[in-house]
Structure 1
Amino acid sequence: MESLTSDTSGVTLTRGRPTGPGMILTAAAGYVAPSLLGLGGAWLTSAGYVAILITIVIALLLCMLLLIRNLFGVVSLVATGGATAALTWYAPPDVDAVLAYLAVWFLLFGGVRPIVELQRKRRHGHAPGSDADQLARLTFLPGGFWVLLFLLVAGAALLGGAYLLVPLPLAFP
């Protein structure tokens, strides 16, 4: 379960052992998920599947609504889902495409910022229990390795998304 706070931080609670592959995947997923979702959204958008992307987004927001544990999270999800549904219901398809592009770029760029913030906090000693530090304890790889891996995944997703979304000329004059 995810608990979201107003400063965009959160805590994920899981069932089962506090060590092992499940916990490693859970801790590793948080920082790379927005970038990977953005890359998937870029693929759907560039392939012309905007309606499918918007349907998936609304379905995921509804699923998250069932698991959220605080009022701020509920309000955020209802506002985002409601605005998305209303806009796509009443707006022409071109507006839907613009919404999809904006959401995908938001995820692609937004996936990088928390990783940079994480490293800044770790450097100043303000994040001793961060996901990177938890992964270091679980895997015996240093926390800096995990931050670098998060950043590499987010950067690759950003480049892949840009490749899919930004049309390049086929021939140079």
Structure 2
Amino acid sequence: MGEIWGEVLGTQAPPTQAVRWVCALVALVVVALPGSWRRSRVVVTVAHEGAHAVVAVLCGRRLDGVRLHRDSSGLTLSRGRPRGPGMVATAFAGYPGPALLGLGAAALLADGRALAVLWLAVLLLAGLLLWVRNAYGLLAVGLSLALVAAVSWWAEPRWQSAAAHAGTWFLLLGAVRAAVELGRDRRRERGRTSDADVLARLTHVPAPVWVAVLVLLTLGAAALSARLLLA
């Protein structure tokens, strides 16, 4: 165990500049193409709902469970005051969640800690798995957990580093696309129960303003992370 923790907390050789650019471009293609995005978006949804759950607990709310659906939507149920700062923070956390997680991972990767990023993902997925309350959600989170754990345990260091970079880029770019799609769906008269609409009802700030804030936050996280990952 001492050796394992030494590796997790230690540093690994960073990938070459070419590999880092390839990881970024692969993630960009996956997020940009409708078919691949539709199949992979559930990963961003996992981070989105996980952020709702973590903030709900931190704000003193009682977490009832998380559900993930085949259409890549999700729902986090918590109990507590129906209004107030805790509810606002819980509703706000979803869309910035994947972006901020990606920014944190980028900071670790810039310090050469790819294995720490992978094991942090394992711990977060394992924690979320305890709160999932439907079969598809268990499958999605369980498969993600198994895949990341397998890479963390058996892959060579260079592949671990590449996987950490690619996964980080996917979270960052996927968070941007999800926030942009939120605004698009609202313009098409869908999504009136979205996080932005919940925030509008809680704060009396119009939903389009919240959409703009979420887009700017995710773009900012992606820009800061790009400086860390591609420097």
Q: TM-score, normalised by structure 2?
A: 0.71
Partner of 1:162: 226
Partner of 2:99: 35
List structure 1 runs of 4+ shifted beyond 3 angstroms: none
Specify every segment of 5 or more residues in structure 1 that has no aligned partner in the other structure, as ranges: 168-173
Q: Which moves more between the two structures, 44-53 or 28-37? A: 44-53
Residues in 2 aligned to 1:127 and 1:52: alpha-carbon distance in whole angstroms: 37
Residues in 1 aligned to 2:155 and 2:74: alpha-carbon distance in whole angstroms: 33
* Deviation by residue 1:110-142 (Cα, 9 ceiling, x = unmatched): 101111111111111111111101101111111
SS of alignment partner, residue 52 of structure 1 = helix
- Contact 2:110–2:228 (Cα < 8 Å) also in 1: yes
Residues in 1 aligned to 2:140 and 2:177: alpha-carbon distance in whole angstroms: 20
Partner of residue 146 from structure 1, selected from 194, 210, 213: 210
Give the residue type in structure 2 aligned to 1:7.
Answer: D
Residues in 2 aligned to 1:79 and 1:55: alpha-carbon distance in whole angstroms: 15
Give the residue type in structure 2 aligned to 1:43.
Answer: A
Give the residue type in structure 2 aligned to 1:59.
Answer: L
1:88 CA drift (Å): 2.2
Residues in 1 aligned to 2:114 and 2:151: alpha-carbon distance in whole angstroms: 13
SS of alignment partner, residue 93 of structure 2 = helix
Q: Give yes or no for the alignment of 1:69 onto 2:133.
A: yes
1:98 CA drift (Å): 0.3
Partner of residue 18 from structure 1, selected from 82, 88, 94: 82
Q: Give yes or no for the alignment of 1:103 onto 2:170.
A: no
1:39 CA drift (Å): 0.4
Residues in 1 aligned to 2:87 and 2:167: alpha-carbon distance in whole angstroms: 29
Give the residue type in structure 2 aligned to 1:70.
Answer: N
Residues in 2 aligned to 1:75 and 1:11: alpha-carbon distance in whole angstroms: 16
Superposition RMSD in Å: 0.9
Residues in 1 aligned to 2:173 and 2:138: alpha-carbon distance in whole angstroms: 24
Residues in 2 aligned to 1:52 and 1:157: alpha-carbon distance in whole angstroms: 20
Give the residue type in structure 1 aligned to 2:113.
Answer: Y
Residues in 1 aligned to 2:192 and 2:148: alpha-carbon distance in whole angstroms: 37
Specify every segment of 5 or more residues in structure 2 that has no aligned partner in the other structure, as ranges: 1-64
* Deviation by residue 1:86-120 (Cα, 9 ceiling, x = unmatched): 12211111111001001100000010111111111
- Contact 2:119–2:152 (Cα < 8 Å) also in 1: no
Residues in 2 aligned to 1:2 and 1:148: alpha-carbon distance in whole angstroms: 26
Residues in 1 aligned to 2:69 and 2:159: alpha-carbon distance in whole angstroms: 31
Residues in 2 aligned to 1:8 and 1:22: alpha-carbon distance in whole angstroms: 26
Give the fraction of aligned pairs with identical amino acids, expressed as a percent: 43
